[in-house]
Structure 1
């Protein structure tokens, strides 16, 4: 019987170690996540924050996976409505009117109503769109933003202006995505399913 020499044993051990590393599921910077251009800790973001827009079809689809991602990552997920342009600004006002009244992130059903109202077809009459937007609030005993008084409107505008500035600082130009600890952006396209997104979030929470 031939014995493996010590140098050969070390070489084989190294190769096996490298093979194990190559199969590692540890998220890679540049593939599964990137660092934000500046540290936004202390800017009012939750440890895990979904960055989204009510006018985004992909964000509507992601909404169905939020409970799964939250459970697998063992983390609550806050929300930040991105402000890209005037259209996104209007949608952000619609969202923050809900969040500010609830003093919390709207639940799943409320979010679906907000998405559905904002994403009605272009052929839908304006009156019907306005009614759907208002009903999302009044059906829950909240004040429709269309009925805000001067003070409420001013507070809402100030909040959206704040978020608009924060949006610019993130440099995020594609949603949905997730910001973790105000430092990292999850690259959703770098994951094959919600469970993998949750794994990356868990990893970044400990980083």
Structure 2
């Protein structure tokens, strides 16, 4: 009997702790609830989007923490990156990312692109600069250039621009859960806390299904 009571107390304490933790996160404080939800890319799954820019030092610093978290996501959660494009080199790097995705090599060279810009101080500001760099990492140079200028890539770039506008982002890195909730590292309180906010919102959406 004593063991049963102790177990019940532990369960209640754990539940109380979870509720107390959940109450730490509030709309209008750690995250913003969008007035007009944005459709997700994979209906039936809880979508987490990271909006980023290859040239952003905060995005670069966030990568290891984010990647470790993404690697542990359950099957009902879909993670995707969307390039933020505010003009100039942001658009160039955004088109680079879309091209790599279209070619199916984004996961292979994503980290290398980040390192090239932030460690090796390469600008990768023109298609030729990108093609030369990517060729060193096993990406066909001519195929990259033709894909970069393709109608499909340019169309996706425009879709991503409209998506970022729908999310109403003003900077990066920014995360959006299920097209409804937006937050960034500043509002959340740092990289680790941002992922706790993401976990909370994922659970919130899962409970609502």
Same fold? TM cut 0.5: yes
Match of 1:41 in 2: 39
How far apart, in 2, do the equivalents of 1:126 and 1:182 lie?
A: 31
Q: Say if 1:73 and 1:198, in contact at 8 Å, map to a contact too.
A: no
Q: Say if 1:33 and 1:185, in contact at 8 Å, map to a contact too.
A: yes
Specify the SS of the correspondent of 2:28: coil
- What RMSD in Å do the two structures reach over aligned CA positions? 3.4
How far apart, in 1, do the equivalents of 2:99 and 2:161 lie?
A: 15
Q: Greater RCO between the two (CA within 8 Å, min separation 6)?
A: 1
Q: Say if 1:179 and 1:185, in contact at 8 Å, map to a contact too.
A: yes
Determine if the alignment matches structure 1 residue 204 to structure 2 residue 206: no
Match of 1:86 in 2: 88
Residue 191 of structure 1 deviates from its aligned partner by 3.5
1:25 is aligned, of 21, 36, 39, to 21
TM-score w.r.t. the length of structure 2 is: 0.70
How far apart, in 2, do the equivalents of 1:154 and 1:66 lie?
A: 31
Residue 44 of structure 1 deviates from its aligned partner by 6.2
How many residues end up aligned between the 2 structures?
Answer: 181
Residue 168 of structure 1 deviates from its aligned partner by 1.5
Q: Say if 1:72 and 1:198, in contact at 8 Å, map to a contact too.
A: no
Match of 1:112 in 2: 111
Unaligned runs of 5+ in 1: 1-19
Residue 116 of structure 1 deviates from its aligned partner by 3.2
How far apart, in 1, do the equivalents of 2:125 and 2:203 lie?
A: 47
Match of 2:13 in 1: none
Match of 2:159 in 1: 162
Which of 1 and 2 has greater Rg?
A: 1
Specify the SS of the correspondent of 2:176: strand
How far apart, in 1, do the equivalents of 2:191 and 2:89 lie?
A: 28
TM-score w.r.t. the length of structure 1 is: 0.71
How far apart, in 1, do the equivalents of 2:70 and 2:200 lie?
A: 14
Match of 1:187 in 2: 184
How far apart, in 1, do the equivalents of 2:132 and 2:148 lie?
A: 22
Residue 68 of structure 1 deviates from its aligned partner by 2.8
